[in-house]
Structure 1
């Protein structure tokens, strides 16, 4: 295992989390802050899945299965949110 790589990713995750808090206090409009926070969260999720859950070193088929599951969960969540009304 490459300890320097994991430490670097940890620092990036820490910086992004700090940036998310800074965006909250920056006085941006709601949707702008929401967009920035969601973009930072997406990058953080990809980094965690790729390196800390070791998907980067797995065969592509495993990554595709995880991605399909994520898309299915998001689709079901979106469908459920529209069916509540």
Structure 2
């Protein structure tokens, strides 16, 4: 079982990444270098999602089969969202 210190450290990392994402908007980076800021925000969001799924949802300590079930659900939701966005014309 992970310790409270580990959870606190992950919380600090998540908080720092969220602050960096807001800072990109606040500094005006989205207006001058839109695609650079957009890419940085997407990468930070992906890292944050992996931390949340891995530690707070305890997927890091589960058998890999459960992780694959969660990933298949995520991929299915993504495919359905993309398909729905193409059907709206």
More deviation, 45-54/1-10: 1-10
Q: Say whether 1:48 aligns with 2:49.
A: no
In structure 2, runs of 5+ residues without a counterpart are none
Task: Give the drift of 1:31.
Answer: 2.2
SS in 1 for 2:28: coil
Aligned equivalents of 2:83 and 2:75: distance in 1? 12
Q: CA RMSD in A?
A: 1.0
Task: Give the drift of 1:15.
Answer: 0.3
In structure 1, runs of 5+ residues without a counterpart are none
The alignment's TM-score, normalised by the length of structure 1, stands at 0.93
The alignment's TM-score, normalised by the length of structure 2, stands at 0.89
Task: Give the aligned partner of residue 67 of structure 1.
Answer: 71
Aligned equivalents of 1:33 and 1:60: distance in 2? 34
Aligned equivalents of 2:9 and 2:21: distance in 1? 18
